[in-house]
Chain A
Amino acid sequence: SQKIEQNSEALNIQEGKTATLTCNYTNYSPAYLQWYRQDPGRGPVFLLLIRENEKEKRKERLKVTFDTTLKQSLFHITASQPADSATYLCALDDTNAGKSTFGDGTTLTVKP
């Protein structure tokens, strides 16, 4: 069966450190993999999209890697700040499926 797993429900790190979140999947062939940020009681906000033929993508302090052999994506936030505290969701878009499937999310807390 298809499955998306994000490494842990919660991740606590110290301000200034790099946060690394993991998204593993089985029985998907995603054309795209996306990462979203969600604050409590709000809708998710798009952060980054990486295509199946891309290995890495960066945006400011964010970096996403995508390994289709390992079926894994890593999401890094460098020089983390307390304002980065939120839940981060990965989403897979199967080729031509016309829909995205989400993982359960990882809640990141950055402590001052």
Chain B
Amino acid sequence: DGGITQSPKYLFRKEGQNVTLSCEQNLNHDAMYWYRQDPGQGLRLIYYSQIVNDFQKGDIAEGYSVSREKKESFPLTVTSAQKNPTAFYLCASSLGGGPTGELFFGEGSRLTVL
């Protein structure tokens, strides 16, 4: 089945630690995205990538980093510089090229900082 796989589903981190969230897609999509969702709120864009080896900052990129070395993979690192990292993180992909169109989402990763 084609889709997006995020791992881990739940993650606990101590303050001051970096953590990397995995996102893999087998939809052959060019574009990939990371969103953050806080309770009762919508999705806020962290980073996005329209093509391999290229990515752009979204609305809340501070304290996060990404890489796009392969078309199917777009890992997100939550660094110790992120002041309030506890949240639900969602990865998505789309065909790419021009307007976004339909987004396909993973099941999310819930990060809790202890």
Contact = CB atoms under 8 A, between A and B. Distances in A.
Q: Do A and B come from one complex?
A: yes
A42 B103 contact: no
B99 A34 contact: no
B2 interface: no
B50 interface: yes
Interface residues of B, number: 31
Interface string B95-110: 0101111111111101
Given A44-B90, A102-B42, A103-B42, A93 B101 contact: yes
B58 A32 contact: no
Contacts of A91: 103
A46 B43 contact: no
Interface residues of A, number: 28
B64 interface: no
Interface of B: 4, 31, 33, 35, 40-45, 48, 50, 56, 58-59, 88, 90, 92, 96, 98-108, 110
